[in-house]
């Protein structure tokens, strides 16, 4: 910034700002692509770029080694890379939205009860129906997350002051508390569900096939569309309800769309990966620091940041305790939290 902003005409300033934001978005996309490439090559068995290329695009070979590589890339690394990107975008956008709609800088994607709802249904179906295969309970988890979100929003919308940010946050807490208690009660009385619960709680992007990833991506895409629709209204809502109403925002409608979007995004991501806490909260703050308070920019940044962070954490998790792995959800906290705390300490989030 060579010159002072005030010396320029306003239009030039906004052009300059917009250019900076677009460049930032481009940079994030490039980082994400690079991380995706690394993600295909790295794991228990390291592959060279050429081998990855073969695994992706080469015709079926008779060569034993190439077939093996192809198998690794196609059935393990491509799915987990795709899921990390999709779930990361969902949790990043969800985190930015939930902080916007509750006007609370410490709101996380689990606040609407999606995590506790998903966990509760998982332990319930395992304890009651004896399901053992994650593929069987993923859809139950999504159902539980969605129902919890609907209940929270429903409770917060009763009567006057419908869905006001504070009521929404507290209703979410109340429902979360109750469901978590029920989950613990079941898990303590049933060893099978306790066993499943501990793996579920770790939050991982591995071990899920495209049979699950495509439908989950569908739900997340729907959530993203809804999220993008409400961004202008969310900007106005953050000026206060009265101002927003005066500027012609249909508050109830935009809140309903926004909460639906959060439930779809966080619910689908949680169903596929298990609960990944802290990611949404963290990237929402970093995105706000990078873009300022305009949600039309903040939300895309948060989405891309979420994808980058989740993907990088998954890669790190594959490398640090080889030949076994650390779950991505665990790495997000272990790596992300110190970095985030340092930013907080340096006073980067003044306008949180």
Partner 1 sequence: MNRTDVKPSVAPGVRLGQVSFVWRPWIVSVSLLLAAATFLVFCLSIGVGDFPIGLPQVIATIFGRGEQVDEFVIMDLRMPRALAGVVVGIALGVSGALTQSIARNPLASPDVLGITNGAGTVAVFLVTVSGGTAAAIVNSVGLSAAALLGGLGTGLLVYFLAWRRGIDGLRLILIGISVSAVMEALTTWLLVTADIRDVAQAQAWLVGSLDDRSWDEVQVAVWGTLVLLVVVTTAAFQFKPMHLGDDIAAGLGVRHSAVRAVLLLCAVLLAGVAVSAAGPVPFVALVAPQVAMRLARCPTPPLVASALVGALLLTGSDLIARAALPVGLPVGVVTAAIGGPFLVYLLVRANRR
Distance CA 106, CA 280 (A): 10
Q: In 157-250, where does DSSP find H-type helix?
A: 165-189, 191-202, 210-237, 241-246
Distance CA 160, CA 122 (A): 35
- Determine if 333 is a binding residue for partner 1 (CB under 8 A): yes
Number of residues that bind partner 1 (CB under 8 A): 61
In the set 112, 146, 175, 271, which binds partner 1 (CB under 8 A)? Answer: 175
Question: What does R_g of the chain's alpha carbons equal in angstroms?
Answer: 21
- Determine if 202 is a binding residue for partner 1 (CB under 8 A): yes
- Determine if 290 is a binding residue for partner 1 (CB under 8 A): no
- Determine if 178 is a binding residue for partner 1 (CB under 8 A): yes
In the set 99, 124, 167, 235, which binds partner 1 (CB under 8 A)? Answer: 167
Distance CA 281, CA 12 (A): 33
- Determine if 308 is a binding residue for partner 1 (CB under 8 A): no
To 5 degrees, how large is the angle CA 210–CA 211–CA 215? 95
In the set 106, 128, 253, 320, which binds partner 1 (CB under 8 A)? Answer: 106
- Determine if 135 is a binding residue for partner 1 (CB under 8 A): no
- Determine if 323 is a binding residue for partner 1 (CB under 8 A): no
In the set 17, 24, 76, 174, which binds partner 1 (CB under 8 A)? Answer: 174
In the set 77, 285, 288, 318, which binds partner 1 (CB under 8 A)? Answer: 285
CB under 8 Å to 108, separation ≥6 — which residues?
Answer: 95, 98, 277, 278, 280, 281
CB under 8 Å to 216, separation ≥6 — which residues?
Answer: 83, 86, 87, 142, 268, 269, 271, 272
In the set 25, 31, 58, 173, which binds partner 1 (CB under 8 A)? Answer: 173
Backbone φ, ψ for residue 15 (5° rounding):
-60, -45
Q: How far apart are the first and last CA of the chain?
A: 25
Q: Is the dihedral of CA 243, 245, 247, 251 positive or negative?
A: positive
- Determine if 334 is a binding residue for partner 1 (CB under 8 A): yes
CB of 177 to partner 1, least distance (A): 3
For partner 1, the binding residues (CB under 8 A) are 104-107, 111, 155-156, 158-162, 166-167, 169-171, 173-182, 184-185, 187-189, 191, 194-195, 198-199, 201-202, 277-278, 281, 285, 326-327, 329-334, 336-338, 340-341, 344-345, 347, 349, 352
């Amino acid at each position: 910034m060579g010159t002072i902003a005030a010396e320029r005409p306003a239009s030039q300033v906004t052009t300059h700002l917009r250019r900076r934001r677009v460049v930032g978005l481009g940079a994030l996309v490039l980082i994400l692509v690079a991380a995706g490439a690394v993600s295909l090559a790295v794991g228990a068995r390291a592959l060279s770029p050429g081998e990855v290329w073969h695994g992706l695009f080469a015709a079926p070979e008779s060569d034993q080694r190439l077939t093996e590589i192809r198998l690794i890339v196609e059935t393990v690394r491509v799915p987990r890379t795709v899921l990390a990107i999709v779930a990361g975008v969902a949790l990043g956008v969800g985190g930015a939205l939930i902080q916007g709609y509750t006007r609370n800088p410490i709101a996380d994607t689990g606040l609407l009860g999606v995590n506790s709802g998903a966990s509760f249904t998982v332990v319930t179906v395992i304890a009651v129906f004896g399901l053992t295969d994650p593929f069987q309970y993923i859809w139950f988890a999504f159902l539980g997350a969605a129902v919890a979100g609907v209940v929270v929003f429903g409770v917060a919308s009763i009567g006057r002051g419908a869905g006001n940010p504070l009521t929404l946050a507290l209703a979410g807490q109340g429902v979360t508390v109750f469901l978590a208690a029920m989950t613990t009660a079941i898990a303590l009385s049933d060893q099978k569900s306790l066993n499943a619960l501990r793996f579920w709680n770790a939050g991982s992007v591995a071990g899920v096939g495209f049979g699950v990833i495509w439908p989950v991506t569908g739900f997340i895409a729907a959530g993203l569309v809804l999220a993008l629709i409400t961004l202008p209204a969310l900007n106005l809502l953050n000026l206060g309800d009265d101002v927003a109403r005066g500027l012609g925002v249909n508050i109830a409608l935009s809140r309903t769309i926004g909460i639906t979007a959060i439930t779809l995004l966080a619910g689908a991501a949680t169903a596929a990966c298990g609960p990944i806490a802290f990611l949404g909260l963290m990237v929402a703050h970093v995105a706000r620091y990078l873009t300022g308070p305009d949600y039309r920019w903040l939300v895309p940044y948060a989405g891309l940041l979420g994808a980058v962070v989740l993907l990088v954490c998954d890669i790190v998790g594959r490398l640090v305790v080889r030949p076994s792995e650390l779950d991505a959800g665990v790495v997000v906290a272990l790596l992300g939290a110190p970095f985030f705390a340092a930013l907080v300490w340096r006073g980067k989030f003044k306008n949180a």
